[in-house]
Amino acid sequence: MTVRHGFQATMTAQPGKGDALVEMLLHAPSLSRDDCPVFLISRSAGNADVVHVTEGWTSEEAHTAFFASAEAQALVAELQELLAGESGYTDQVPVGGKAEF
């Protein structure tokens, strides 16, 4: 499967809510989708309330369709309750790499 569209989001949780944010993201509906083969969650080494998400999708259309779904909108609404402010997003066009856990 080829990843043709992606993004990285940086979210800052309310103080002390970083664990809850990570836990919610680890159960995100994107993880079970075949058209989202890359879904990585990481934290800042210096601030446990700063969380990064990197997603890779088979197409921009697949990503757009998923985020328009009720399932994704429910997750976004839940996430908003944990966040301390606006998240930063960067569009990406993946060109290669590796992730093993």
Main-chain phi, psi angles of 94, to 5 degrees: -60, 140
Mapping DSSP to helix (H, G, I), strand (E, B) and coil, where does residue 76 land? helix
Torsion of CA 58, 70, 10, 101, to 10 degrees: -60
Q: Is the pTM of this model over 0.85?
A: yes
Q: pLDDT tens for residues 49-100?
A: 999 999 999 999 999 999 999 999 999 999 999 999 889 999 888 787 877 6
Segments making up each domain of the chain, as ranges: 5-85
CATH 3.30.70.100 fits domain 5-85: yes
pLDDT, residue 72, reads 93
